[in-house]
Amino acid sequence: MVSYLQIEKLTKSFGDRLLFADITFGVYEGDKIGIVARNGDGKSTFLNILTGREDYDSGSVTYRNGLRVGYLEQLPPMPEGMTALEYATPAPEPGHEEIWNGADLARRMLTDFGITDVEMPLQNLSGGQAKRVALAKVLLTNPDMLILDEPTNHLDIDMIEWLENYLTRQRVTLLMVTHDRYFLDKICSRIIEIDRQQIYTYDGNYDYYLRRREERIEALNSELAKVRNLLRTEREWMQRQPQARGSKAKYRIDNFHQLENRSRVRTDSKDVSLEVGSSYIGSKIFEAKNISKKFGDKVILKDWNYTFARYEKVGIVGDNGAGKSTFIKLLLGLIQPDSGAFDIGQTVKWGYYSQEGMTGFDENKKVIDAVREIAEVVRIDEKTTLSASQFLSKFLFTPETQQKYIAKLSGGERRRLYLATVLMKSPNFLVLDEPTNDLDIMTLAVLEDYLANFKGCVIVVSHDRFFLDRIADHLFVFKGNGEIRDFPGDYSTYRHCVAMEEKEKKEALREQSPAPQKAAANSRRVKESKPKLSFKQKRELEELEKLLPELEEEKKMLEESLSGGTLSTDEIIEAGNRLAEITEKLDESELRYLELLELVG
């Protein structure tokens, strides 16, 4: 194995707070590693150390000489005065300056990523556009190793799935932090968890990590039960001793303090406790009557009608810019429709978690003071109330953290605080706009449990496919140009149906056109009837006529090898990866071949 990165005894602290200590592991060529941890446990700090943006207390970080490393930051810097094309265009490699076509490569990738105006100034880009431009910039540097910090944040689902497929196919070495569990599960072959200042390594995907982690927690709980029993015995001994103890008892006193520290270990993966009540909600929720809205020529809704039912949970998906956030603001009355009206039930009490709401905190206030301004006491149910401080503890804000100024909170801590301020008002209709960004996986799991059992209604806009699958009973799919499709199922079922529809269309197109092999055999007749093709298209068609039989043959050979039972584990993995590449290339090439044949007429 070729070593790309070696981390030895890495330790980092902020003041008296230790993030991690004596971390040691290696990254080797071809590794695809996911890093998971709770918010505030040091994931982004760890990546900043690896990329030289932050110092560390002790240890070493050693890269292989000449290794090209691409780093996608969680919030990529966007220099003023540059266009998207200028920012994404890679610098030429030494000796290739005269023939360098970096701008063409950048223009092509940006267009593929949905950035149609490549001359747009960076400061005018939306969050999703900025993330795509930054991603294009990193990929175009052709790195040997990628370091990605929350790469799926602000990307729409189509773009997430493109990146997922790209990283699965490419042999690039990868180290990333992400909360997207499907993304982790499909891409990563190793999971590294930072927990209690240590790391735990799991050689498998995310599903394997979950099973092994549960085993580790159960074993730790069993050990802690023994420690606490022994601690009880030692405490009784300590209490019986006179103040002046002999030297022979010193080891027991030291042992007592060690046991006491070990007994405080946190083991429960669901530390956030969302025990928050909801107000009663009646049978009438809301009815949309002929709602229309557009901005200039862009149609968001067109004569949309819908009656929302009690306890309904809807996921909203669609491309960035299709109107999802506008739809929510129309529903909440923050903007008005051009025509039509919403009829809202009298018992509806909104709880709105928005992207803009994150900026509403006073940075100079302490966490506890910001919450007390909303309510000194929070009602959980008819019999239970909590003080503001007790309520914050349910969201992992310790008494010490509650005294922190909001300006000092991490991105995930801010999300948790904002979520707390929304839920503490006991809403019965939750409207959540991208609630999963910056939340750690443990917090997400608890939020999902809370929403699944929530005695009210939920509308959630999210690009997190796992989250949608757990929460949504059905989907509003924003297709663009005012069209909304109501899909009766979860997101995975929807994507499967879309894939089947696309497959059927492709098969229908194949049936309408001659088979590629027959067309290749009669290439002369085809070539003679190409008056509608440009010279470039003619060359492309000729190349496809040669390529398709070659791809078919290689695919057949790979399938025979995989079913032969003679390959080693490494050879099976390599052949499987190559088969996936060939199959995708074959599908793309056949589709393009048929498109060119249609131009021939």
Top mean pLDDT of 140-149, 528-537, 586-595 is at 140-149
Is residue 291 scored above 80 in pLDDT?
yes
Is residue 6 scored above 80 in pLDDT?
yes
Is residue 99 scored above 80 in pLDDT?
no
Tokens of 541: 């068609």
| Range from 178-192, 261-275, 301-315, 371-385 carrying the lowest mean pLDDT | 261-275
The residue among 179, 143, 266, 192 whose CA lies nearest residue 10 is: 192
pLDDT at 131 (0 to 100): 92
| Range from 110-114, 156-160, 184-188, 584-588 carrying the lowest mean pLDDT | 584-588
pLDDT at 503 (0 to 100): 81
pLDDT at 234 (0 to 100): 63
pLDDT at 528 (0 to 100): 45
Q: Identify which has the larger pLDDT, 399 or 97.
A: 399
CA distance 395 to 272: 5
pLDDT at 377 (0 to 100): 87
Split at pLDDT 50, 70, 90, the class of 349 is very high
Q: How far is CA 472 from CA 233, 308, 464, 475, in A?
A: 50, 14, 12, 7
CA distance 314 to 116: 31
Query: What DSSP string runs through 144-168?
Result: SEEEEESTTTT--HHHHHHHHHHHH
- Tell me the average pLDDT of the chain: 83
Q: Which residues contact residue 283 at a Cβ distance below 8 angstroms, ignoring those fewer than 6 apart? A: 310, 345
CA distance 564 to 413: 53
Q: Identify which has the larger pLDDT, 58 or 246.
A: 58
Give the bridge partners for 314, in sequence order.
459, 474
pLDDT at 529 (0 to 100): 45
CB 113 within 8 A of CB 125: no
Query: What DSSP string runs through 20-65?
Result: EEEEEEEEETT-EEEEE--TTSSHHHHHHHHTTSS--SEEEEEEPT
- Provide the 8-state DSSP code for 359: G
Q: Identify which has the larger pLDDT, 448 or 583.
A: 448
Overall average pLDDT of the 339-354 stretch: 92
Question: How does pLDDT run across 158-182, given as a tens digit for each residue?
Answer: 899 999 999 988 888 999 999 999 9
Tokens of 344: 């809202």
CA distance 405 to 362: 9
Single-letter amino acid code for the residue at 71: Y
pLDDT at 312 (0 to 100): 92
Question: How does pLDDT run across 449-479, given as a tens digit for each residue?
Answer: 888 888 889 999 998 999 999 999 999 999 8
Tokens of 586: 């074959």
Q: Identify which has the larger pLDDT, 283 or 86.
A: 86
| Range from 132-146, 151-165, 239-253, 587-601 carrying the lowest mean pLDDT | 239-253
How many percent of the chain have pLDDT more than 90? 35
Question: How does pLDDT run across 471-503, given as a tens digit for each residue?
Answer: 999 999 998 888 899 998 889 899 888 888 888
Question: How does pLDDT run across 500-546, given as a tens digit for each residue?
Answer: 888 888 777 777 765 555 555 554 444 444 445 777 777 788 888 88
pLDDT at 274 (0 to 100): 63
How many percent of the chain have pLDDT more than 70? 85
pLDDT at 97 (0 to 100): 61
Is residue 445 scored above 60 in pLDDT?
yes
Q: How far is CA 35 from CA 30, 44, 46, 414, in A?
A: 16, 10, 10, 21
CB 417 within 8 A of CB 402: no
Question: How does pLDDT run across 200-240, given as a tens digit for each residue?
Answer: 999 988 888 888 888 888 887 777 777 667 767 766 666 66
pLDDT at 243 (0 to 100): 52
| Range from 1-15, 57-71, 284-298, 574-588 carrying the lowest mean pLDDT | 574-588
Q: Identify which has the larger pLDDT, 418 or 600.
A: 418
Split at pLDDT 50, 70, 90, the class of 51 is very high
pLDDT at 330 (0 to 100): 93
Q: Which residues contact residue 487 at a Cβ distance below 8 angstroms, ignoring those fewer than 6 apart? A: 474, 475, 476, 477, 493, 494, 497
CB 33 within 8 A of CB 46: no
Q: How many CB atoms lie within 10 A of CB 103?
A: 14
pLDDT at 170 (0 to 100): 84
pLDDT at 163 (0 to 100): 92
Split at pLDDT 50, 70, 90, the class of 578 is confident
> Which of left, alpha, beta for 303 (phi over 0: left; psi -120 to 50: alpha)?
left
pLDDT at 510 (0 to 100): 73
Q: What is the pTM (predicted TM-score) of this model?
A: 0.70
Is residue 95 scored above 90 in pLDDT?
no
Overall average pLDDT of the 270-288 stretch: 74
**Pairing of the two strands 483-487 and 474-480:** antiparallel
- The C-alpha torsion from 576 through 578 and 581 to 586, rounded to 10°, is -100
Is residue 120 scored above 70 in pLDDT?
yes
- Provide the 8-state DSSP code for 565: T
Overall average pLDDT of the 117-146 stretch: 92
